Structure 1
């Protein structure tokens, strides 16, 4: 969880979904390639006179969100971490409050996963291509055929810049951190051969990635005490493991339902599929959190 301790979390006045956060974490509001540069003179086809330059288009400034919306989830998360993982009710309240109040609901929470949604779609698209055409052809389409036949961890490290480009912002850093942690997990699970990857293993790869991405996003927003609150490093690891298992259960349920609805995933549906997974996962996590809080 390198990102979780490197950033103090967003301020309460930060918009729920920043204006620059698109589905791929890229800046939005760019002019159409066919449009003239802002401020360039234009001519009326019926008159040789030059018209005054059009005023530049400005992005709307998002309305600041409730300045205290992170307070309660952060407090509950700190209590959970300080308890060494025994206070599951506080974990439930922290996660449920994060989705419903801090983020404004499951859909808004999913939209905050900008770069992770884009990276998740590229990862799942690559795996879908491997299933359809084989690892060699999938890698050749990315000019990475030299990685063919290598162990899966080496292949994925070679794919890092394609899956998670431009790790310059916190959002992009979360996406890249999640991908690196997924690579580490694959070696411990014994998933080593990309050519022999089964559909269930493909689901596992994406499930791990989405779990790590949501965990890192949540920790950056409300979980800054996750590592520092427990005084014993072993307890800190136990707390982190409980949080990860909690999130993975939500992601797994969301992915299983989505696969049942879309058993034959095609490249043109990958982005929509990934967006659905994140939104459903946050909805399930809110429900699971409410259940923990009521116990």
Structure 2
């Protein structure tokens, strides 16, 4: 994601430059560009993991656009890309946690209102955890690997379960 969005901004590869030109010349709206980025970063597939990744990227792009109205998604600066990574990782961790706890909440006969409140609390906790972990990772390594990002997500999932274990 990071390299593709950086390449789009800097127009550093011919294929990405053509892709950007095609989008710009088509008169694409911000939503069209966001959808194109989602498609480029995670082409359609059928697995739950692929669907989650697409959903997380769409949520992240939406949050970035809400936080920065008028942002040009095809010319993101490094800070914008890091903010997008933050939104994406938080959404993906939340998806993983909610998928894992869904059955537990159902089998525990938790009232729907309580289940929704717990999910909200977990999502806020996850956003905070991911933001802190990503800030530390960025400080230590301005170009983290995919494995480092995956490790960050796994640690956030683990920590969330540890913190909210008794609430389930």
Map 1:227-246 → 2, pairs under 5 A: 229-232=110-113, 238-246=117-125
Q: Equivalents in 2 of 1:138, 1:152: separation in Å? A: 21
Higher helix share: 2
Map 1:1-295 → 2, pairs under 5 A: 123-133=1-11, 139-141=16-18, 143-148=19-24, 150-191=28-69, 192-194=71-73, 197-224=76-103, 225=105, 229-232=110-113, 238-263=117-142, 265=143, 273-283=145-155, 286-287=158-159, 290=162
Q: Kindly state the Cα deviation for residue 243 of structure 1 after the two structures are TM-superposed.
A: 1.5
Q: Kindly state the Cα deviation for residue 162 of structure 1 after the two structures are TM-superposed.
A: 1.7
TM-score (norm 1): 0.45
Contact 2:64 2:83 in 1 (8 A): no
Query: Cα 1:209–1:138, aligned 2, differ >3 Å: closer, same or farther?
Result: farther
Task: Please list the CA deviations of residues 251-292 of structure 1 after superposition, one character each: whole Å capped at 9, or x if unmatched.
Answer: 2222112211223x3xxxxxx623202313433554565467
- Show structure 1 runs of 5+ residues with no match: 1-122, 266-271
| Aligned-pair Cα RMSD in Å | 3.3
Q: Equivalents in 2 of 1:281, 1:173: separation in Å? A: 17
Contact 1:207 1:252 in 2 (8 A): yes
- In the alignment of these two chains, the number of paired residues is 160
TM-score (norm 2): 0.72
Contact 1:130 1:195 in 2 (8 A): yes
Q: Which has the larger radius of gyration?
A: 1
Task: Please list the CA deviations of residues 16-48 of structure 1 after superposition, one character each: whole Å capped at 9, or x if unmatched.
Answer: xxxxxxxxxxxxxxxxxxxxxxxxxxxxxxxxx
Please give the secondary structure, in 2, of the residue aligned with 1:275.
helix
Please give the secondary structure, in 1, of the residue aligned with 2:10.
helix
Relative contact order (alpha carbons < 8 A, sep ≥ 6): 1 or 2 greater? 1
Task: Please list the CA deviations of residues 186-232 of structure 1 after superposition, one character each: whole Å capped at 9, or x if unmatched.
Answer: 33223532356332222111111111112112222223438x94434
